[in-house]
């Protein structure tokens, strides 16, 4: 797995495809464009492209307030967030406390909620904030304790780097379709990277998973986007049928959720996007 610039662990994170996306940007005259991601999650790909100078600004949206609060806190309360990392002990007692914060997340202030989400992301299996158990189990008898993914110095370094790019990062807490509407209203050259909740296992991975009708509504909205976009999904016949009139390709991605394996993902691209041969994309059968 590539080293991600994100401080968050995320199922299906797309940092690994940064070189592919950068090539697509460059071959379509989109270098230094504004990059918009309706389902930001860990935002590893977005940050990679920003740090490389492949895009000039990133627009990150997450409807899940728990995830949004992490990014809000990193950008707006950087040193308070760093202090919480430094001063908080990584124990099972603390894990129980941070888990309880999520029970009232709509009324919890962003810094408290953001740190709770961050703590659970680093200590839960596969980084799943609300639907997974703690690394090592409640009795902590495993050889992997809950602190094994919580390298404080490394995480603080990533957080401070993100904050140093604050002027180039725009954060939203909207429904994905509303976010697309808002981005379309900007007078900028926009590239959309759309990575919706997985269709097959979404319910077990995400707090805000999608029903089939939600996936269909998204497909209808994507068709009318005024701009260049690419879309990634888990590979399924249902999703393929929704986008049957667009070019579709397979690509492999290292999964971190539940087991170490390579999964086949679906890449869909809009009709005006140029794909050069060096990408060596495999057409979906």
pLDDT, tens only, 88-109: 999 999 999 999 999 999 999 9
Residue found by looking up tokens 């909740």 in the block: 197
Is 193 a residue whose pLDDT tops 60? yes
pLDDT attached to residue 2: 63
pLDDT interval class at 285 (50, 70, 90): low
For residue 21, the Cα-to-chain-centroid distance in whole angstroms is 15
Q: Are residues 189 and 277 both part of a single domain? A: yes
Which residue has better confidence, 47 or 188?
Answer: 47
Q: What is the mean pLDDT of residues 115-126?
A: 96
**Residue 221 belongs to domain spanning:** 1-63+174-285
**Range 239-265 average pLDDT:** 74
- Which one has a higher pLDDT value, 240 or 263? 240
Residues 156, 133, single domain; the answer is yes
HSE toward the beta carbon, residue 84, CA cutoff 13 A = 20
Residue 82 — left, alpha, or beta (φ > 0 → left; ψ -120 to 50 → alpha)?
A: alpha
- Decide which of 142 and 50 is more confident: 50
pLDDT value of residue 10: 83
Domain boundary among 139, 169, 199: 169
Mapped onto helix, strand or coil, the DSSP state of residue 59 is strand
Query: For the residues 155-182, what does the mean pLDDT come to?
Result: 98
Is the Cα dihedral 118, 124, 127, 128 positive or negative? negative
Q: Judge if 25 and 119 occupy the same domain.
A: no
- The CATH number of whichever domain residue 153 belongs to comes to 1.10.1020
Predicted TM-score (pTM) of the model is 0.92
Do 36 and 78 sit in the same domain of this protein?
A: no
- Give the C-alpha distances (Å, rounded to integers) separating 46 from 6, 233, 271: 9, 17, 23
Q: Do 56 and 181 belong to one domain?
A: yes
Average pLDDT score over residue span 138-149: 89
Task: Identify whether residues 117 and 161 lie together within a single domain.
Answer: yes
Q: What is the mean pLDDT of residues 263-276?
A: 89
Q: What's the alpha-carbon Rg for the chain, to the nearest Å? A: 19
Beta pairing partners, 171: 60
User: SS3 for 136?
Assistant: coil
- Pair 203, 70 in one domain: no
What's the pLDDT tens digit per position in 32-75?
A: 999 999 999 999 999 999 999 999 999 999 999 999 999 999 99
Instruction: Answer yes or no: do 46 and 99 share one domain.
Output: no
* Average confidence score pLDDT of the chain: 91
The domain total for the chain is 2
- pLDDT tier at 255, thresholds 50, 70, 90: very low
Q: Residue 60 corresponds to which tokens in the numbers above?
A: 């990150």
In a shared domain, residues 184 and 250: yes
pLDDT at 231: 97
Total Cβ atoms within 10 A of residue 232: 21
pLDDT attached to residue 18? 93
Verify that 125 and 110 share a domain, yes or no: yes
Last residue of a domain, one of 119, 136, 169: 169
pLDDT at 113 over 50: yes
Same domain, 126 and 259: no
Kindly state the helix (H) or strand (E) to which residue 264 belongs, with its residue range.
strand 261-269
Structure tokens at 105: 């997340």
Domain boundary among 169, 199, 226: 169
50 & 110 share domain: no
Of residues 220 and 253, more confidently modeled: 220
């Amino acid at each position: 797995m590539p080293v991600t610039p994100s401080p968050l662990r995320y199922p299906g994170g797309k940092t690994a495809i940064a070189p592919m996306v950068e090539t697509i940007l460059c071959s379509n005259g989109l270098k230094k464009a504004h990059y918009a991601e309706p389902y930001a999650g860990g935002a590893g790909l977005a940050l990679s492209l920003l740090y490389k100078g492949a895009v000039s600004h990133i627009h990150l949206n997450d409807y899940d307030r728990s995830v949004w609060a992490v990014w809000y806190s990193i950008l707006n309360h950087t040193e308070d967030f760093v202090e919480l990392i430094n001063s908080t002990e990584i124990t099972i007692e603390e894990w129980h406390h941070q888990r309880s914060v999520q029970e009232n997340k709509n009324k919890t202030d962003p810094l408290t909620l953001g740190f709770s989400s961050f703590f659970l992301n680093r200590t839960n299996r596969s980084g799943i904030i609300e639907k997974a158990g703690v690394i090592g189990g409640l009795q902590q008898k495993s050889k992997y304790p809950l602190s094994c993914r919580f390298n404080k110095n490394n995480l603080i370094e990533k957080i401070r780097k993100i904050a140093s790019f604050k002027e180039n990062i725009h954060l939203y807490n909207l429904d994905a379709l509303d976010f697309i509407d808002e981005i379309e209203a900007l007078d900028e050259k926009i590239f959309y990277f759309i990575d919706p909740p997985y269709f097959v296992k979404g319910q077990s991975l995400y707090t805000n998973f999608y029903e089939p009708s939600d996936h269909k509504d998204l497909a209808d909205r994507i068709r009318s986007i005024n701009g260049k976009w690419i879309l990634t999904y888990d590979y399924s016949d249902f999703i393929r049928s929704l986008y049957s009139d667009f070019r579709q390709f397979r690509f492999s991605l290292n999964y971190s959720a539940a087991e170490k394996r390579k999964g086949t993902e679906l890449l869909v691209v809009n009709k005006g996007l140029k794909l050069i041969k060096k990408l060596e994309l495999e057409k979906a059968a």
